[in-house]
Amino acid sequence: MKKKLWSIVRSVMGRIFLILVCLAAFVVLSSRLSGGEPTLFGYQVKAVLSGSMEPTFQTGSIIFIKLGDHRTSYKKGDIITFLMEEKLITHRIMDVKQENGQAVYKTKGDNNNGPDLWTIPAKNIVGKYTNVTIPYVGYALNYANSKAGSALLLIIPGILFMISALRSIMDARKELEGSKA
């Protein structure tokens, strides 16, 4: 009984792992082919590359952000991801001001001593942090976005599919030989 239960658990876990690897491959490769960021239902996943927001989230984590548009408004205390000099930065809003009838935001990293030297126009904001963080996965995501990582995401699912097919053939063969005896 234990052997059969263990076999079922192992089989289910193997299939879940295979599905997750294939899903990761699909997300990374589709974003590479489209040239954009992977987006699912208006949310994006971002890897945390620095410690400026510790302890809110750690370097190497991934965070989920809700994408905004020109109608989205943000308030003091919100954590936003914005574009600054072609780099994505995620910091907390410290102050909201009006300049030329438009909202601009003063930001600061939670772990930084002082506020950022710039103000962020609303058009530069990508989205707002959703309070969902997964530690350490950002390291894997960054690797997966590299050329070597993308290649592995093609090779690993192929190898896993081949192993699964070989196991199925071997199991069918054993079953066939068992029924002949």
Domain spans of the chain, in order of start: 2-163
The yes-or-no answer on residue 50 being catalytic is: yes
Give the model's pLDDT for residue 79: 95
Tell me the per-residue pLDDT of 138-180, one tens digit each, with 9 for 90 and over.
777 777 777 787 777 778 777 877 888 888 888 888 877 777 6
Query: Phi first, then psi: what are they for 60, rounded to 5°?
Result: 90, -5
Quick one: pLDDT band at residue 42, thresholds 50, 70, 90?
A: confident
Mean pLDDT calculated for residue range 46-58: 88
Of 11, 50, 164, 168, catalytic: 50
167 Cβ contact list (under 8 Å, min separation 6)? none
Whether the pLDDT of residue 112 is over 90: the answer is yes
Q: Is 67 exposed, middle or buried (0-12, 13-18, 19+ CB in 10 A)?
A: middle
- On whether the pTM is more than 0.75, the answer is no
Tell me the per-residue pLDDT of 9-31, one tens digit each, with 9 for 90 and over.
888 887 887 777 666 666 666 66
Fold of 2-163: Umud Fragment, subunit A (2.10.109)
Mean pLDDT calculated for residue range 114-120: 92
Alpha-helical runs (H) found in the chain? 2-34, 137-144, 147-180
As a whole number, the mean pLDDT across the chain is 82
